[in-house]
Structure 1
């Protein structure tokens, strides 16, 4: 599982699949703010974590032959107060140079890893 992602520099994720392609669609699991060694980055910093999630999302898309232009919707999950949501959104708008695909920004109680503030999932369809 995840051999192509591992070869591209993504961390090992036992019992977790990054993405699955079905025709012209890519079903992507929520991307977390881990570096290539599987370490959480940007502890306490939603801007840094969102940037890492988006970097990871871009890498997963490229591994499966898709590009960021194929994104049809983003969901940005953020644990924390309003300033964390704002920071994650700022990272998102910066990453897309102000041209964010349709997106939802959601405040949540907690995410899957200790210290994790941001997770981003996407709907991906090649036209």
Structure 2
């Protein structure tokens, strides 16, 4: 499971799949700010963690033949106060060059890993030629 993602530089995830494609849709697990060794990056920095989540998301998309223009919806989960949410959002806006797909920014009490401040979930669907 996840051999293609690991070959692309993402950490092994023995208990869950990064993504599963059904037709033109890619169901993607929430992306966390892990490096290739599975370590959380940028402790205490929600902006840098959001950037890492987005880079990991882009890798998952590429492995499955999708790209960021196929993202139809983002959900950005952030631990912390308003400043942390704003910093994470700044990373999202920068990553998409100000053209963010429909998105929701949510403040949460905690996420799955120690030191994790951000997780990003996406709904991904390839555009048909008539949609372009």
Q: TM-score range with shorter-chain normalisation? A: over 0.9
SS of the equivalent of 1:5 reads helix
Determine the structure 2 residue equivalent to 1:37.
37
SS of the equivalent of 1:92 reads helix
Instruction: Give CA deviations for 1:67-125 in whole Å, capped at 9, x if unaligned.
Output: 00000000000011111000000000000010000000000010000110000000000
Counterparts of residues 12-27 of structure 1 (less than 5 Å)? 12-27=12-27
Deviation of the 1:44 alpha carbon:
0.3
Deviation of the 1:16 alpha carbon:
1.3
TM-score, normalization by structure 1: 0.99
Instruction: Give CA deviations for 1:22-58 in whole Å, capped at 9, x if unaligned.
Output: 0000000000000111111010000000000000000
Matches of 1:125 and 1:97, distance apart in 2? 20
For this pair of structures, how many residues does the alignment match? 127
TM-score, normalization by structure 2: 0.95
Q: Flag structure 2 segments of 5+ consecutive residues without an equivalent.
A: 128-132
Larger radius of gyration: 2
Determine the structure 2 residue equivalent to 1:120.
120
Deviation of the 1:66 alpha carbon:
0.2
User: Structure 1 segments of 4 or more deviating over 6 A?
Assistant: none
Matches of 2:32 and 2:76, distance apart in 1? 11
Determine the structure 1 residue equivalent to 2:88.
88
Counterparts of residues 60-71 of structure 1 (less than 5 Å)? 60-71=60-71
RMSD, aligned CA: 0.4
